[in-house]
């Protein structure tokens, strides 16, 4: 497997920009646009060619990532005129793929932070001879998700809509948003109209007897559907709970980026990121999943967890900001 499709488009409110003109995949996590972590993880797993399928604020991706060479990748960009859904977006970029008909192509959602062992998913795909292999994760409360039960060999037996009653919760396995497709299977997706992989492509494949293999990997997994999840994901990257080769610095309690000034006795904990242009004064304490970028935190101030301070905001000396007090991103 040397190529991948990364899905970063869509139409729903989940894709509303977190900050003005910043699509979610470009919102920084641990100091770099979130997408960088996914691209770097794919590269580390052997991917060389990536097609970025988008329908949304496409013009911000290419100027930043260019041809991908700074990440050791070759990146191509394809923009849908109208959002085509997950399956439609995959089909829409088929002509850009270079793999042979039987070769595996990695496909992943652009809003998931995970420690998935990508190579293991590809190995599972190859040893099982599946048409499509899916990363499945287990969740404590599966009510908000479509369920993916498997048999004793890991073969997918059904795709079930969100369960409405306790009896319908037949498994705690859910689709974790990363797949390996046999290249030729991509060509069977209808063209020119919206298609959902979960609601249409996968159930249709099952109905026609195709082999869909699930790989349960209960490693780190976080759906970045909310701003709070984003801040948590950033902190987990900084602290090394979520693995990524793209974190710009050592793993630890804090990440201080170039261009930031931090007083020697300031206490930074819990995966806090101090961005370029931020100044943290003497005696300041910043703890837990807080992002400071272009912010000034005065001497003796205390900034609690889950705050997001950006763009020239100034916290007065000695002020106390409780947990979750300030956010710049949208509520969606």
Interface stretch with ligand GTP, choices 11-19, 65-73, 234-242, 251-259 (CB under 6 A): 11-19
Rounded Cα distance between 314 and 291, Å, is 13
Rounded Cα distance between 74 and 158, Å, is 36
Interface stretch with ligand GTP, choices 153-161, 193-201, 206-214, 262-270 (CB under 6 A): 193-201
Q: Would you list the DSSP string of 38-91? A: HHHHHHHTT--EEEEEESSSGGGHHHHHTTSGGGT-EEEEEE-SS--HHHHHHH
Q: Which is nearer to ligand GTP, 10 or 288 (CB)?
A: 10
236 makes contact with ligand GTP (CB under 6 A):
no
Residues 104 and 120 sit within 8 Å (Cβ to Cβ): no
- Judged by CB under 6 A, the chain residues 46 through 75 that form the site for ligand GTP are 53-55
Strand order in the sheet with 291-293: 254-256, 272-274, 291-293, 308-310
Q: Which is nearer to ligand GTP, 23 or 68 (CB)?
A: 23
Interface stretch with ligand GTP, choices 41-49, 80-88, 261-269, 285-293 (CB under 6 A): 80-88
Out of 1, 7, 27, 315, the only residue in the binding site for ligand GTP (CB under 6 A) is: 7
Out of 17, 46, 83, 277, the only residue in the binding site for ligand GTP (CB under 6 A) is: 83
Q: Which among 11, 24, 162, 267 is annotated as catalytic? A: 162
Q: Which is nearer to ligand GTP, 38 or 279 (CB)?
A: 38
Widest pairwise Cα distance in the chain = 66
Per-residue interface string for the shown chain with ligand GTP, residues 149-168, x marking contact by CB under 6 A: --------------------
> How many CA within 13 A on the CB side of residue 298?
10
How many residues form the binding site for ligand GTP (CB under 6 A)? 22
Q: Which helix (H) or strand (E) holds 204?
A: helix 202-207
Nearest to 25 by CA among 112, 106, 105: 112
Interface stretch with ligand GTP, choices 6-14, 66-74, 120-128, 293-301 (CB under 6 A): 6-14
Residue nearest to ligand GTP (CB): 9
- Judged by CB under 6 A, the chain residues 301 through 330 that form the site for ligand GTP are none
Out of 51, 197, 242, 266, the only residue in the binding site for ligand GTP (CB under 6 A) is: 197
Nearest to 105 by CA among 85, 84, 88, 91: 91
Task: Indicate the SS3 state at residue 256.
Answer: strand
Rg of the Cα atoms in the chain:
21
Torsion angle (degrees, nearest 10) of CA 273, 248, 16, 135: -120
Out of 3, 9, 278, 301, the only residue in the binding site for ligand GTP (CB under 6 A) is: 9
Per-residue interface string for the shown chain with ligand GTP, residues 97-126, x marking contact by CB under 6 A: ------------xxx---------------
Task: Indicate the SS3 state at residue 244.
Answer: coil
Read off the tokens for 303: 């900034």
Angle between helices 34-44 and 227-239 (to 10 degrees): 50
Annotated active-site residue 267? The verdict is no
Q: Which is nearer to ligand GTP, 189 or 231 (CB)?
A: 189
Out of 85, 142, 271, 281, the only residue in the binding site for ligand GTP (CB under 6 A) is: 85
Out of 196, 261, 269, 332, the only residue in the binding site for ligand GTP (CB under 6 A) is: 196
Residues that bind ligand GTP (CB under 6 A): 7-10, 12, 14-15, 53-55, 80, 83-86, 89, 109-111, 196-198
The catalytic residues are 162
């Amino acid at each position: 497997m040397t190529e991948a499709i990364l899905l970063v488009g869509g139409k729903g409110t989940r894709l509303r920009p977190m900050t003005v003109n910043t699509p979610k995949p470009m919102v920084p996590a641990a100091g770099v646009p979130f997408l960088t972590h996914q691209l770097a993880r794919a590269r580390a797993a052997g991917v060389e060619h990536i097609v970025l399928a988008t329908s949304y604020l496409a013009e911000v991706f290419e100027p930043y990532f260019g041809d991908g060479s700074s990440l050791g990748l070759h990146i191509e960009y394809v923009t849908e005129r109208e959002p085509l859904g997950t399956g439609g977006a995959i089909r829409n970029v088929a002509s850009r793929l270079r793999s042979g008909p039987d070769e595996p192509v990695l496909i992943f959602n652009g809003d998931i932070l995970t420690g998935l062992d990508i190579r293991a998913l590809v190995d599972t795909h190859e040893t099982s001879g599946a048409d499509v292999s899916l990363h499945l994760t287990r969740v404590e409360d599966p009510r908000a998700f479509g369920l993916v039960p498997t048999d004793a060999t890991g073969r997918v037996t059904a795709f079930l809509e969100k369960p409405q009653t306790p009896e319908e919760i037949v498994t705690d396995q859910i689709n974790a948003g990363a797949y390996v497709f046999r290249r030729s299977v991509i060509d069977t997706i209808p063209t020119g109209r919206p298609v959902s992989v979960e609601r249409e492509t996968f159930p249709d494949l099952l109905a026609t007897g195709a082999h869909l293999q699930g790989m349960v990997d209960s490693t780190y997994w976080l759906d970045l559907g909310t701003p709070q999840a984003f801040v948590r994901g950033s902190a987990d990257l900084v602290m090394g709970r979520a693995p990524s080769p793209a974190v710009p610095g050592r793993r630890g309690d804090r990440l201080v980026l170039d261009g930031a000034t931090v007083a020697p006795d300031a206490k930074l904990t819990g995966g806090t990121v101090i961005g370029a242009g931020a100044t943290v004064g003497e005696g300041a304490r910043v703890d837990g999943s807080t992002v400071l970028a272009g912010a000034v935190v005065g001497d003796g101030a205390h900034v609690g967890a889950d705050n997001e301070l950006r763009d020239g905001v100034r916290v007065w000396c000695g002020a106390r900001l409780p947990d979750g007090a300030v956010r710049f991103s949208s509520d969606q």
